[in-house]
Amino acid sequence: MKAASPLDYRVLARRRLPHFLFEYMDGGSYGEVTLRRNVSDLEAIALRQRVLTDVSRVDLSTELLGRRIDLPVALAPIGLAGLNARRGEVQAVRAAEDAGIPFCLSTVSACPIGEVAAAATRPFWFQLYMIRDRGFMRDLMAEARAAGCSVLVFTVDMPMPGSRYRDYRSGLAGAPGVSGSARRLMQAALRPRWAWDVGLRGRPHQLGNVARVLGRNSGLEDFLGWMRDNFDAGVTWRDLDFIREGWDGPLVLKGILDREDAVAAADLGADGIVVSNHGGRQLDGVLSTAQALPPIAEAVGDRLTVLADGGVRSGLDVVRLLALGAKGVLLGRVWAYALAAAGEAGVAHMLRLIEAEMRVAMALTGCTRVDHVNSDVLSKAPRD
Active-site residue, selected from the candidate residues 19, 205, 278, 372: 278
Using CA atoms, how far apart are residues 322 and 324, in angstroms rounded to an integer?
A: 5
Q: Is 24 annotated as a binding residue?
A: yes
Using CA atoms, how far apart are residues 48 and 136, in angstroms rounded to an integer?
A: 49
Q: Is 333 annotated as a binding residue?
A: yes
Q: Is 77 annotated as a binding residue?
A: yes
Q: DSSP secondary-structure letter at 132? A: S
Q: Is 205 annotated as a binding residue?
A: no
Burial class (CB in 10 A: 0-12, 13-18, 19+), 299: middle
251-256 and 328-331: which strand pairing? Answer: unpaired
Using CA atoms, how far apart are residues 326 and 295, in angstroms rounded to an integer?
A: 11
Q: Is 2 annotated as a binding residue?
A: no
Q: Is 129 annotated as a binding residue?
A: yes
Using CA atoms, how far apart are residues 35 and 166, in angstroms rounded to an integer?
A: 13
151-155 and 125-128: which strand pairing? Answer: parallel
Contact 117, 92 (CB under 8 A): no
Contact 1, 12 (CB under 8 A): yes
What are the two backbone dihedrals, phi and then psi, of residue 296, each rounded to the nearest 5 degrees? -70, -45
Q: Is 155 annotated as a binding residue?
A: yes
Q: Is 112 annotated as a binding residue?
A: no
Using CA atoms, how far apart are residues 165 and 24, in angstroms rounded to an integer?
A: 10
Q: Is 313 annotated as a binding residue?
A: yes
Q: Is 101 annotated as a binding residue?
A: no
Look up 278 and say whether it is catalytic. yes
- Nearest Cα to Cα of residue 97 among 316, 327, 317, 351: 351
Q: Is 164 annotated as a binding residue?
A: yes
Using CA atoms, how far apart are residues 346 and 331, in angstroms rounded to an integer?
A: 14
Q: Is 312 annotated as a binding residue?
A: yes
Contact 280, 34 (CB under 8 A): yes
Q: Is 276 annotated as a binding residue?
A: yes
Those residues whose C-beta lies under 8 Å from the C-beta of residue 243, and which sit 6 or more positions away, are 128, 141, 152, 154, 251
67-69 and 272-275: which strand pairing? Answer: unpaired
Q: Is 258 annotated as a binding residue?
A: no
What are the two backbone dihedrals, phi and then psi, of residue 125, each rounded to the nearest 5 degrees? -95, 160
The annotation places the binding site at 24, 77-79, 106, 127, 129, 155, 164, 254, 276, 278, 281, 309-313, 332-333
Please state the residue numbers annotated as binding site for glyoxylate: 24, 129, 164, 278, 281
Known catalytic residues are 278
Binding residues for FMN: 77-79, 106, 127, 155, 254, 276, 309-313, 332-333
